[in-house]
Amino acid sequence: MKEKIIWITGASSGIGEALAYQLNKNGNKLIVSARRKEALELVRLNCEFPEKVAILPLDLSDFDALPHIAEQAIAIHGKIDVLINNGGISQRSLIAETKFEVFKKMIDVNYLGTIQLTNALLPHFITEKQGHFVTVTSLMGKFGSPYRSGYCGAKHALHGFFDVLRMEHEKDNIDVTLICPGFIQTNVAKNALTADGSAQEKQDEATANGLPVATCAKRIIRAMDKKKFEAYIGGKEIFAIYLKRIVPKLLHSVVLKSAVR
């Protein structure tokens, strides 16, 4: 993955930030996006080649603005080779206690915003007869876990949409890679929404003991290079994928007995 023009959303922290550092080091030109311009500027300055990094703030829940932002992104270098859909937000609350607005935000940010941005860039990829959508979902896009109902729903939806996009646009030389991280050492748990919509503001043990984010980024880039359909990244939690396929009732019991929150 070298000498490409790569647009990364959710690039101000976590997996997106780690991807920016690694992809920049490899010699790619980057466009980094997130809501906070100041945080993006810090990421740019921390890159090995900051002159190859452009900043383009966006809010995935501002659906009307996203097509215009996609036009701006294309105009920066005249084309885009890869869009990494990494922006999103998690949840930690029981279904019965969660306000509808929290579920709506999960769908708006994690699903609809990603779809709107993808649709806005799709005509460019079709015209160029090449392009690569890399969408960071989650292992929660393949199976469920308590306290993450809205998050799981949105991530499952991404899999359905992007599997079809891959089928419909293979003829246009457009690739789709779905990245499914497990527990990664990021602030995803701290920023997760609770039942009333406020941030959890505390780390959980599984995330704190997860895979280092730099290691995760390297594995994502390897999957991008190989143009994999799906890549599962994490520790022993990835085996839940196979339990879900083969013995779903066993996975149900295992998850219920776990201490994950």
End-to-end CA distance of the chain: 35
Helix axes 37-46, 14-25, angle to 10 degrees: 40
**Rounded distance between C-alpha atoms, residue 61 and residue 220, angstroms:** 25
Task: Give the rounded distance of the alpha carbon of 33 from its chain centre.
Answer: 12
Centroid of chain to Cα 158: 10
Domains assigned to the chain: 5-257 (3.40.50.720)
User: How much is the pLDDT for 1?
Assistant: 73
Quick one: pLDDT band at residue 257, thresholds 50, 70, 90?
confident
To which residue do tokens 């007995």 refer? 257
User: What is the DSSP track for 13-35?
Assistant: SHHHHHHHHHHHHTT-EEEEE-S
Catalytic residue among 147, 151, 232, 242: 151
Instruction: Give the tokens for residue 207.
Output: 């995330």
Task: Assess whether 151 carries a catalytic annotation.
Answer: yes
Burial of 39 (0-12, 13-18, 19+ CB in 10 A): middle
pLDDT tens readout for residues 231-240: 999 999 999 9
**Percent of the chain predicted with pLDDT > 70:** 99
pLDDT tens digit string along 72-121? Answer: 999 999 999 999 999 999 999 999 999 999 999 999 999 999 999 999 99
Token representation of residue 186: 């990021």
pTM of the predicted model, to two decimals? Answer: 0.95
Tokens found for residue 257? 């007995």
d(CA 63, CA 177): 23
Close Cβ partners of 249 (under 8 Å, ≥ 6 residues apart): none
35 CB-near residues (< 8 Å, 6+ apart): 12, 57, 58, 59
Confidence of residue 206 (pLDDT cuts 50, 70, 90): confident
Q: Tokens 């393949």 — which residue?
A: 142
Helices and strands per DSSP (H, E), number in the chain: 11, 7
d(CA 24, CA 20): 6
C-alpha atoms less than 13 angstroms from C-alpha of 16 in its C-beta half-sphere:
30
Is the pLDDT assigned to residue 259 strictly greater than 70?
no
